Structure 1
């Protein structure tokens, strides 16, 4: 059994691009996948949306779509990227995923995929707590939705702990951004090259299994 830590941010377009590889890893019996949100675009990493940033994001998103086949809709471009009242802030979505990790951890990959699809295809504002609760509700993740509606100290602490672990691993291994994949074998951690995660998801799975 391989222990693999997936370090990501729910507003990272490249993490969305790696989605098929992450799904393949999560579904393989030989891999134990651990999700660790990095908080890259939360807190001090959050920023306002503006025309310059929207243009940069859309250009980057088109590169990701060409390489991975993951869709970015025109609706997302017109309703999310041009909404300058909306912050580019992954804090709420990260919090929602931690709520899933506490209540139904085996469904966190499914929840992440749903949040990404909601943003990049359906143009849902996943920086909004009500929208996040609705998405979790549609997935029948009612426990997570309830935790998100009434966050407590345990949820706060778990969120801080997960982000802290992600950042510690990134610093320890010299990871420069997300997504990052960290393989742990016999207590030793190493960073895996992630380029195949975008262009060849099943090839990346084979790379993990052979490592």
Structure 2
């Protein structure tokens, strides 16, 4: 079964869906494609200020309660309390660099970027911050491509964002995370809460054995 996962690296709810995505990726009968949507990149990017930080922390507590995912004090003090960009471009570009150089490790890279932000309070909104995290994972080629911003990588990034946004419009999706089952004309979106259910319930929704 082919699944397409639409997400944004700065989406707290996508972090909450991380355990389900890992479990799906580990199943031998599931082919899982990751597509960053650029929800918080480009025109969707913003600024981290006190008001936004308060809103984010409140929302994060809801995610933690529902999913069990951790949002630490380091995240609150080193990320939310620091005025700066709220822009997922660098993280999505870094994941695209992994997709181009070592696609089998993209899910692991996404998990590490999310942990870096929400658990360790690290920077994943700058090219430098993301490239350092990729290097720590042994993904030096991806880090180098990202820092060089070579044309092949930029074009791949643009294609992935465009494909994800086209799928969102086609299926009437307004937010992430979102999971699409199937391919081509048979592709369909699954209910929004499916990624927060136990794996058995998720597989039942998919009709997977």
Q: What is the Cα deviation at residue 202 of structure 1? A: 4.5
Q: What is the Cα deviation at residue 146 of structure 1? A: 1.0
Could you tell me whether the CA contact under 8 Å between 1:182 and 1:192 is conserved in 2?
yes
Q: How does 1:1-211 map to 2 (within 5 A)?
A: 2-84=1-83, 86-185=84-183, 187-210=185-208
2:33 is paired with a residue of what secondary structure? strand
TM-score normalised per structure 1? 0.95
User: Which ranges of structure 2 fall in alignment gaps of 5 or more residues?
Assistant: none
What is the rounded CA distance, in whole Å, between the counterparts of 1:110 and 1:126 in structure 2?
A: 15
What is the rounded CA distance, in whole Å, between the counterparts of 1:35 and 1:157 in structure 2?
A: 17
Deviations 1:100-136 (A, max 9, x none): 0000111100000000000000000101212211111
Deviations 1:123-158 (A, max 9, x none): 001012122111111111111011011111110110
What is the rounded CA distance, in whole Å, between the counterparts of 1:140 and 1:112 in structure 2?
A: 14
Could you tell me whether the CA contact under 8 Å between 1:21 and 1:205 is conserved in 2?
no
Q: What is the Cα deviation at residue 28 of structure 1? A: 0.6
Q: Segments of 4+ in structure 1 off by > 2 A?
A: 199-203, 205-211
Cα gap change, 1:134/1:155 in structure 2, threshold over 3 Å: closer, same or farther?
A: same
Pairwise CA RMSD? 1.4
TM-score normalised per structure 2? 0.96
Cα gap change, 1:127/1:186 in structure 2, threshold over 3 Å: closer, same or farther?
A: closer
Could you tell me whether the CA contact under 8 Å between 1:21 and 1:202 is conserved in 2?
no
User: Which ranges of structure 1 fall in alignment gaps of 5 or more residues?
Assistant: none
Deviations 1:46-103 (A, max 9, x none): 111111110000000000000000000011011100101x200000000000000000
What is the rounded CA distance, in whole Å, between the counterparts of 2:112 and 2:143 in structure 1?
A: 14
Cα gap change, 1:202/1:88 in structure 2, threshold over 3 Å: closer, same or farther?
A: farther
